[in-house]
Amino acid sequence: MAEIKFVLNNEKVQIDRDPTMRLLDVLRDDFGLIGVKEGCGEGECGACSVLIDSEVASSCIVPLGNVFDKKIVTIEGFKKTDRYKVLHEAYEEEGAVQCGFCIPGMLLASESLLNKNPHPSEDEIRDGLSGNLCRCTGYNMIVRAVQRAAETGEGLW
């Protein structure tokens, strides 16, 4: 066990846990952040995506011990931002949400991408989202949603 301190959705938190635990389990079970999903458990599907210091990461393969002093943002924290509003509206407008299981992770991957590259090309979007599997949409509506968000959210990123 170890005392792990980090910033979770803009609040300082501290937890006494086995540091080899998956960040995913800590977020879901200890903090009740169920928007973080487990789709594969091996870092392949992106359903468990969170932001670590603003960059998307697969929380199922991040040990808790690696988030010391880091800033973690889950969909629950992200949904309070203006960027979320723009992304949500773009996803809705483009019809990019079907079963929704990949969507919290997909939104955070979109945020991470736009944060680095506010005007991504189509290929850059496809590449930026390539770690987030979606089996419902065929991805095109998601790609268009990110394009739309980049336009309507001009200046936010």
| Nearest-angstrom CA–CA distance, 15 and 35 | 20
* CA neighbor of 4 nearest in space, from 57, 82, 62: 62
Fill in the per-residue mask, 49 to 68: x = in contact with another protein (CB under 8 A), - = not in contact: x--x--xxxx-xxxx-xx-x
- 71 contacts another protein (rule: CB under 8 A): no
Q: SS3 for 144?
A: helix
Position among 71, 115, 117, 126 found at the interface with another protein (CB under 8 A): 126
Q: What string of DSSP letters covers 57-108?
A: EEGGGSBGGGGTT-EEE-HHHHTTSHHHHHHHHHHHHHT--SS-TTHHHHHH
Instruction: Number of residues interacting with another protein: please give it, by CB under 8 A.
Output: 82
Among 5, 10, 100, 121, binds another protein (CB under 8 A): 100
Residue type, 88: H
Of 8-16, 34-42, 148-156, the segment contacting another protein by CB under 8 A is 34-42
In the bound state with another protein, the residue whose beta carbon lies nearer, of 34 and 151, is 34
By CB under 8 A, name the one of 7, 13, 21, 156 that touches another protein: 21
Q: Single out the residue of 97, 114, 149, 150 in contact with another protein (rule: CB under 8 A).
A: 97
Give the shortest CB-151-to-another protein separation in angstroms: 17
Task: Give the amino acid at 7.
Answer: V
Residue 27 touching another protein (CB under 8 A): no
Integer Rg of the chain from CA:
15
121 touching another protein, by CB under 8 A: no
Quick check: 38 binds another protein (CB under 8 A)?
Answer: yes
**Interacting residues with another protein between 134 and 153 (CB under 8 A):** 134-143
Sheet holding 71-73, edge to edge: 11-17, 2-8, 71-73, 49-52, 55-58
